[in-house]
Amino acid sequence: MAVFFKRIRQKLLVKKRFGKYSLYALGEVLIVIVGILVAVQVNSWNEQRKNEAVEISVLKAIKADLIKDTLLLKEDMGLHLHSMLSSRIVQDYLANDRPYNDSLAHHFIASFYVTDWMHNSGGIQTLKSLGVNTITDEKLRNEIIDLYDVKYNFLQYLTASLTNNFLYIEQNILRTRFEQARLFFDYKESAPFADDKESNSELVKWDERMIPLDYEALKNDHEYLFHLKTYMNEVHWYWFICTDTENQMSQTILNLEQEIKSLEK
C-alpha cells in the first residue's frame, strides 16, 4: 500500500501537477489521521470493555456477599426477637407474681442471648483495593459505601456493646442468682458417634436452661430486674437497626442486579 501511494506521488511530481499533488498529500495525511483515530478508538473501546468486565466482577462479588449477609442477619434478628419475647414472659411472670414452671428455665437464659454477627467482606475489600471509582454509577457507589462504612460499622458497634453488657450481667448478676447455665448439646449415651442420619437426628437435643436459685426472691430483685429490662431495650434497639439495615441490603442487591444487567448488554 505504501509503495502504491509512493508511485502516485512520483507521477504527480514528474508531471509537475503540484496542485493535485498537494491535494493528494493532504488526503494522505487525513487518511493517516483517520487511521490513528480509529486505532485510538478501538484501543479505548477495548480498555472500556476490560474496565466493565472488572466492574461487573466486583459488583457480582458484592452482591453475593450481601445475599449471604442478609441470610445471616435474618438469623441473628430471629434470635434477638426470641430473646425479646422471652424477656417479656419473664417480666410478666415476675411482675404479676405468677408461680414458677419449668418452661421459665429456658426463658431466663434466652432473655440474655448475645450473638456476634459476622459479615462477608471479600467483595468490598476488592473494591477498595481497586479504587471505589471502579463502580462508575455514582449513586450506586455511594449507596454501597454508606451500607458498609456506616450501617455495617454501626451494627458491629452495637454488637460489641451488647456483648460487653452481657459479660457484665453474666459475671455480676446471673452467677449469683441461677444454677449453672446449660448451653450445649446433650448427647445420648447410646451410640453418641453414630454415622447414619436417622440416628443423628435423635442423637442430640438443644437444652438451654438457667434455673433460679430463689425464684421468689427474683420478683423483688431490683438489680436483676433493672438489667433484665435494660438489656431488652438494648436488644430492641439493635433489632430495629438490623431491620433498617436488612431493608437497605435488599434494595442494594436489587440495584446491583440492575447495574450488572446494564453493563452486560
Distances (CA, A) of 127 to 65, 124, 135, 225: 13, 5, 8, 47
Tens of each residue's pLDDT in the chain, 265 residues: 444 445 555 554 455 444 554 555 555 556 666 666 665 665 666 666 787 889 999 999 999 999 999 999 999 999 999 999 999 999 999 999 999 999 999 999 999 988 888 899 999 999 999 999 999 999 999 999 999 999 999 999 999 999 999 999 999 999 999 987 765 544 444 334 444 444 444 434 446 889 999 999 999 999 999 999 999 999 999 999 999 999 999 999 999 999 999 998 7
pTM: 0.74
**DSSP symbols for 112-142:** T---------HHHHHHHHH-GGGS--HHHHH
**Can you give the residue ranges of every domain in the chain?**
2-177+212-264
Distances (CA, A) of 149 to 143, 146, 156, 185, 225: 10, 5, 11, 37, 36
Place of cell 417480666: 91
Hey, is 204 helix, strand or coil?
A: strand
CA distance 159 to 114: 8
Distances (CA, A) of 109 to 174, 231, 254: 9, 13, 38
Alpha carbon 17 to its chain centroid, in Å, reads 75
- Neighbour-count burial of 113, counting CB atoms closer than 10 A to its CB (0-12 exposed, 13-18 middle, 19+ buried): buried
Residue 232, all three cell numbers: 431488652
- Neighbour-count burial of 145, counting CB atoms closer than 10 A to its CB (0-12 exposed, 13-18 middle, 19+ buried): middle
